[in-house]
Structure 1
Amino acid sequence: MSEFKALVVTEEQGNYVSQVSLRHIDELPPGEVLIRVAYSSLNFKDALSASGNKGVTRNFPHTPGIDAAGVVEASSVAELEVGDEVIVTGYDLGMNTAGGFGQYIRVPAAWVLKRPEGLSLRDSMVLGTAGLTAALCIDKLEQAGLAPGQGPVLVTGATGGVGSIAVAILAGLGYEVAAATGKALQADFLKRLGASLIVDRSALEAGKDKMLLKEQWAGAVDTVGGDILFNVVKSLRYGASVACCGLTAGGQFQASVFPFILRNVNLLGIDSVEQPLVVKASMWDRLSLQWKTDLHSLCHEVSLEELPEQIEKILAGKMIGRVLVNLG
């Protein structure tokens, strides 16, 4: 098969238009591994790419999709054979390399991870970059000393992809989870994932002008950034940490040194894109074994043709849970 379907974003007089088109395999970039994609997932970065954000994607036409799971169709390296089921997340996939919103991708072997035995290809993309990021956050928090029984752990942006998975994993590990959201109608959804406390987003926006806030959180996963992130820092308990992995509320915040030098707290940066493959493999093993949780209730499955509507939805801040893309 030389032709395949892909969501292609084109620039037309300053506007960016997404539509499903036919592409040829020989149009794909060079790489050691050709993969027939079975599933992908929709992330905020994909929506930025599809809307023409030059910080994500420089050149158009382009196929987004920073996640892909599928089967090796051709390989020039011994460690990956035709028929292997594999996962690709991050690196340059879907940014400036044609991504998982196409039925085929061709990538360097150094980006490709064999599917863990405890997850199906579908399971792996219900998780996707969001699940990997959530796992990296929790792992880094635990490395910094977080453990169940220390008090509530806050998750901001809790109805989003990373946030909802973080809530579910933390609850499954025995943590008391406080889920923060601006979507009050989703309280039941978050409680089903395991949240024991729902925090209105407005409560995290108060006190921006203060150097310190009341100590509340034994730890936190922040997916939104902006001034909310620093308010979380200011309300951590003594010696606690927050893992920062998102910027939907902004890429900057007004900061002071007071929480760091008076409460000994830690701001931990999380990147899931350029992590060495061995680190990603370790996190995927956890997600397939001791951190495995049933996430299908938070997953909405769509086709390529339905993706443009979902992209608009995530850009408008209306996405709940995960969007799984079926490329079959």
Structure 2
Amino acid sequence: MRTVFEIEQVGPFVSIQDAGRNGYARYGVTKSGPMDRLAHSLTNYALGKHDSSSAIEVSLGGLTLKCIEGEITAATGGGYFSINLDGSELAPWSIFTLQEGSVLKIRSGEWGSWCYLSFLGDIQAIKWLGSRSVHQGSGLCGLPYKQGDKIIVENGKSNADTSGSFFDPKTLKPSPEVRIVQGPQDSYFKDISISKLYLTEFKLTSEYDRMGVRLNGEKLKVNRALDMPSEPVARGSIQVPGHGDPICLLADHQTTGGYPKIATIISADQDAMAQKRVGDVVTFAKTNVDDAIAVARQKHLQIDVMKEEIERNRASFIHKLWSSNLISGVISTSQD
């Protein structure tokens, strides 16, 4: 089945994202992919799709879609956003079905910066180097959506029996504390700057996009000339330019950089960092590589538990359907 949507309203940075493109950093091509990889994966999983399937990433600016052709089941997940379908409010992490004429509105809610909209079908988009992920800075592999664009989903399926909230996201709400591994260029900073890194409450500034976010707090002064050669950088790297404000690199980060990296956010905390909003506070907690690996393994086990919760909730949709009185006025087949 073919389903077509028209975009009636859209905020900045709203784009199609899958798991990203691997293996091309040596050519200057970053991986891209979702800002919150866990939420993206779980939203797809709720529909029975592969974790890395394409979905629409929605920023705080929101998205309004009108279904102008077809019928399809969809799901939303990510931050605690406001989801409105045809005037009715849905839970932030919900499965629902859109029909011709349906209007879906996604708006910022209580917390979080990114929401994911996945369809039970294949979103049509350009594929480049094995991925449909839009890269913000280059314009390669498509561009962010704009008002009036059409979204076409092929091979769509509709399953109106499967609807409702499939996951409680309260455990994913970002905490102020973010764990980091110090280095690799911590030698570029005086001891007082290293101390400030752990004792300061930093705030996310409005200099925030898919490439990274600048933090404001105590200045982390560089102790040496900024003459280091450019070298590979990773998602979660905390670079410190000459002005002393740390910059946390995110999904669309450059592949190399010449600023010293005072620390790197551990992989288990990177999704939560991406869900923070402008003005949110972050404090850094020191950890080591071995502990970061142990935390990553623990998180994988937690993801399995989350998927089990989603499975139970999906099963309950069908159970609720069969246990409902579907014919008004009929409660028994007995003639007594």
What range describes the TM-score normalised by the shorter chain of this pair?
Answer: under 0.3
| The structure with more radius of gyration | 2
Which has the larger share of helix? 1
Which has the larger share of strand? 2
TM-score normalised by the chain length of structure 2: 0.27
